[in-house]
Structure 1
Amino acid sequence: MKYSKATNYALHILLHLAVATPNQRVGVQQLAEQQDISPTYLSKILTKLVKAGMIESSTGANGGYKLKPDWESISFLDVIHAIEGSASLFGGCLNDNPDCLIQKVMISAEEKMEEELRQHKISDLAKKATVVF
């Protein structure tokens, strides 16, 4: 199983905002330099995080991005769903058989993985982080 680089960047950006500047706005250029990615690519990721309600953005001289006030509840699963969507990892069984034993195993495994990711919060990592990523 593999998640896109965008998910990796999103998790690191949220952790960076939580550790370094939870109540301050940070510009896209500064975040892009910190992650060593293009501002254009980062803007697409940030737009998804804004739409998911995890961060807020503002324009102007003091514009930028910052965490929403309730950011402590953001889980890894929330970030993954914001970036990747919530479609199942398993494509399903042949002929869409509702009694497919393989599908039952795959869905069960996916549910366990999602529960694990749901339990891990960005705020928990922020409490443990000693450096800004």
Structure 2
Amino acid sequence: MKYTKATNYALHIMAYLVQQQGKDNLSLQPLASHMNISPTYLSKILTQLVKADLIQSAPGMNGGYSLRKSKDEISFYDVIQAIEGSGALFTCEMDESNDCHIERVMRDAEEKMVNHLKEKKIYEIL
């Protein structure tokens, strides 16, 4: 299983925002420079994080991005779901009886991973 590069960046961005919590809003250009990401690509990732209500954006001279939720509410799963969506990682294409034993094993493994990622908060790694 492999997550996209956007998810990798989003997790790092959220960790940085958690570290900066309580300070001034972070504007796009300095954040892009710090993360070494193009501003255009970063903007797309930030838009997805805003839509997921993990961060907020404020326009204007002192505008920028900041956390919308408390740092202890933001899990790895929240960030991954904001970027990757919520589709199943595996679906059985071979067994039409809706009783695919392989899919059951894969679903069970995915459920354990999801529960682990929901329990792990971003601030815990800082």
TM interval, shorter chain, is over 0.9
Superposed CA deviations along residues 92-124 of structure 1, whole A, max 9, x for unmatched, are 232433111001000000001111111110122
In 2, the alpha carbon distance for the partners of 1:64 and 1:72 equals: 21
In 2, the alpha carbon distance for the partners of 1:44 and 1:32 equals: 12
Q: Secondary structure at the match of 1:50?
A: helix
Partner in structure 1 of residue 123 of structure 2: 123
In the alignment, structure 1 residue 22 sits paired with structure 2 residue 21: yes
Partner in structure 2 of residue 101 of structure 1: 101
Question: For structure 1, which segment, 95-104 or 84-93, has the greater mean C-alpha deviation from structure 2 after superposition?
Answer: 95-104
Structure 1 residues 89 and 41, CA gap change in structure 2 (3 angstroms): same
Could you state the TM-score of these two structures normalised by the residue count of structure 1? 0.89
Q: Secondary structure at the match of 1:57?
A: strand
Amino acid at match of 1:22: Q
Is the Cα–Cα contact under 8 Å of residues 49 and 55 in structure 1 kept in the other structure?
yes
Is the Cα–Cα contact under 8 Å of residues 93 and 102 in structure 1 kept in the other structure?
no
Identity %: 52
**Please, what is the CA RMSD of the aligned residues?**
1.2
Is the Cα–Cα contact under 8 Å of residues 73 and 123 in structure 1 kept in the other structure?
no
In the alignment, structure 1 residue 31 sits paired with structure 2 residue 56: no
Could you state the TM-score of these two structures normalised by the residue count of structure 2? 0.93
Partner in structure 1 of residue 73 of structure 2: 73
Gap regions ≥5 residues in structure 2: none
Instruction: Kindly report structure 1 stretches of 4+ aligned residues shifted beyond 4 Å.
Output: none
Q: Secondary structure at the match of 1:66?
A: strand
Structure 1 residues 31 and 97, CA gap change in structure 2 (3 angstroms): farther
Aligned residues: 125
Amino acid at match of 1:93: E
Gap regions ≥5 residues in structure 1: none
